[in-house]
Structures are given as structure tokens and as C-alpha cells.
Amino acid sequence: MWMCAVFALVCIGFAFSGFLALSSITDAAERELSSGYIGFWIFLGLVALVFGILSWMIKEGKFGDVE
């Protein structure tokens, strides 16, 4: 669960730094590639967040019936 949170923060950090660097890119093709990488890092961060939340819910017994 904690590793998912750390990985999500790293991914979102890469996406944020990509957003900051996007304004300095002058080539249109390079800018399009960079925005695709930003989308990829955001996707990875969201997947890590979802798996972290699901892991926490399973650990707490809030997901499914615990016998």
C-alpha cells in the first residue's frame, strides 16, 4: 500500500515536471511527444493510486466479506 503511494507520487512528480517543461519546447512534434509522456505518467500514477486504495480496503476488511 505504501509503495503504491510512493510510486504514485513519483509518477505525478514526473508528470508535473513535464508540464513545467512543456512551455519551453518550441518544436511541435517534440511538444506532442512530451504531452504523450505526460499522459503516460499520469496514467501510471492513477493506476498506482487505485491499487493502493484497493490494497488498503482489503487490509481494513472494507472490500468483500471477511470470514
**Numbers of helices and strands, H then E, in the chain:** 2, 0
Instruction: Look at residue 44 in the predicted model and tell me its pLDDT.
Output: 95
Mean pLDDT by groups of 10 residues along the chain of 67 residues: 90 91 84 89 94 88 67
Global pTM reads: 0.79
CB 3 within 8 A of CB 49: no
Q: What is the pLDDT of residue 27?
A: 83
